[in-house]
Chains A and B, each alone.
Chain A
Amino acid sequence: MTELAVPAPTAASRGGVVLRRALRSRSALAGAVLLALLFLLAFAGPYLTRWGYDDKDFTAFRQPPSPAHWFGTGAAGQDVFAATVRGMQKSLVIGLLVAVVSTGLAGLVGAFAGYFLGAVDRVLMWVVDLLLVLPSFLMVAILSPLFQGSTWLLFVALLAAFMWMVTARIIRGMTMSLREREYVLAARYIGVRPARIIFRHILPNVASLLIVDATINVSVAVLSESALSYFGFGVQPPDVSLGTLLADASTDATTYPWLFCFPAALLVLIVLAVNLVGDGLRDALDPGSGQAT
């Protein structure tokens, strides 16, 4: 949205229009502010408390929230606040990475399939069908022993590998109509290579859908990550994510509610904020929504 810095020319720039529309929606604005605050909490939080996420306070086991331990303590004296903000960091970083990778992959596959059609298209769309038949949760769970004891980046790659299919199909459909447009035909006739046409002319024109999709995918990724971690198929100890924290606390949810409530509430808030921003962006990017809002 750098266009905003330039004094407005006669017609408003597209970025400006979109930003203004998105800001006019109160729920999207609230979502963005909430998300910013959650990021701040996740990354500044560790500096606010003197406890590390793996420190143990041997004078306080399973204590309710107090000035010393803001969110209380766990069974072995862990500080719930420190663990929760650490878990938020992990969940947020994984969510963002997965969304960026999977949306990028969706854009590439969809654009290549829709531009080349023919055999390329048939092969790529068959792969899409195949991956849609294999539920991502099951596949990542099966492969979880591979990243136990190795890097969590592999977990990110696996999550992303099973999340791009539906978007790729939509992008393919859009590309099929874009490739008949005059500017694409002109580029093709003057001899621009297909890869260059895709990156210069096709992908920028489907960018708005990709941006919305990336936003929504953040929330999907955070939810998948926490569900997998909840069953031990995701982030591995000693590292923590909101999913592993909730798994540890789920049996004690009634007896020691603070163990469960804080991570659960923050997880819900993250997903809610991302969904609100995504919904606002979608409305703002939709040309037809101008009169409605």
Chain B
Amino acid sequence: MRGSIFAAIGREALADAVERAIRDAILSGRLAPGERLVEARISQELGVSRAPVREALARLEQRGLVVSQANRGTFVVRLTPDDIREIFTLRRVLEGHALASALVRIEPKDLVYLEELTAAMRDASKVGNVEAAMERDLEFHAYLVKLSGSRRLLAMWSNLVDQLRSLSTKFQSLYPDLSLLTKSHQATVEALGRGDHQRAADLLEAHLKEAESLLVRSLEGDHA
């Protein structure tokens, strides 16, 4: 009896580790959108049996990072322009709600932290490190969502953003001028500092719409 319990725990932890490894490979761009994921090869590569790999792929499918097709196999998800529109529509709803909930909770130290993130983003943007700039950008948004105090909201938001991360390599050439992105964040923080909540919400909405439109245009270009 004890033995079977430990085996179950071990498999669970293994599936977690495999899920993390595949997720990291997708999010970092090492596995490209559309790439086929072969259970046998992954299990050989990671030195584990096929069961935790199967479990990890099922979880990743639930998170929207991979898609499985009958009689074909499992593939890294390839987002379409419609997917992007859907994700950003949901992001605007979630982040708008988060910001409204956060307004009563925001303290000066939160604004200092958001300023710090914006400054770090500006540093990365200046030297053209888009990857680091995007990372700081997502940390900025994540912090605003966290400020809402709702763990479920944060989980839903993280799930959506993870799907976007699979496009991280696309972000490299997306923004012709990264300083615009930083300025938008700076303006949002300043509006929050002034207590001008409507302006902060408008800026956030505009910022997300801009990102959506750039991504959609880029993907439509790819498909064309």
Do these two chains interact? no
Interface residues of chain A, those whose CB is within 8 Å of chain B, are none
